């Protein structure tokens, strides 16, 4: 089962860490966001650092998470 979680970044109120797992060799992971779940278009997440990975998990840091609501998803593809 693929899981995406969001964590706050210590002392950085305008940043969030989307954390996703499991990651698989040979797959490309593209973070996306939008500010409403009921309307709008999913857009590529820009202005992020990472990803950092271990054997099973990927983490990015959204450096521009300034909206009151920000929703994330991860697009997965074969490159």
Could you read off the pLDDT of 2-57 as tens digits, one per residue?
999 999 999 999 999 999 999 999 999 999 999 999 999 999 999 999 999 998 99
pLDDT for residue 79: 83
Residue keyed to tokens 């593809």: 77
Q: What are phi and psi of 72, to 5 degrees?
A: -125, 155
| Residue ranges of domains in the chain, CATH in brackets | 3-77 (2.60.40)
Report the SS3 class of residue 16: strand
* pLDDT value of residue 23: 95
DSSP assigned state of 11: T
What's the confidence (pLDDT) of residue 34?
A: 96
Residue 79 to residue 6: CA distance in whole angstroms: 25
């Amino acid at each position: 089962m693929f899981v995406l979680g969001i964590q706050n970044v210590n002392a950085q109120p305008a940043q969030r860490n989307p954390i996703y797992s499991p990651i698989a060799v040979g797959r490309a992971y593209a973070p996306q966001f939008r500010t409403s779940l009921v309307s709008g278009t999913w857009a590529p997440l820009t202005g992020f650092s990472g990803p950092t990975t271990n054997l099973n998990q990927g983490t990015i840091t959204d450096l521009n998470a300034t909206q009151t609501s920000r929703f994330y998803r991860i697009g997965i593809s074969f490159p």
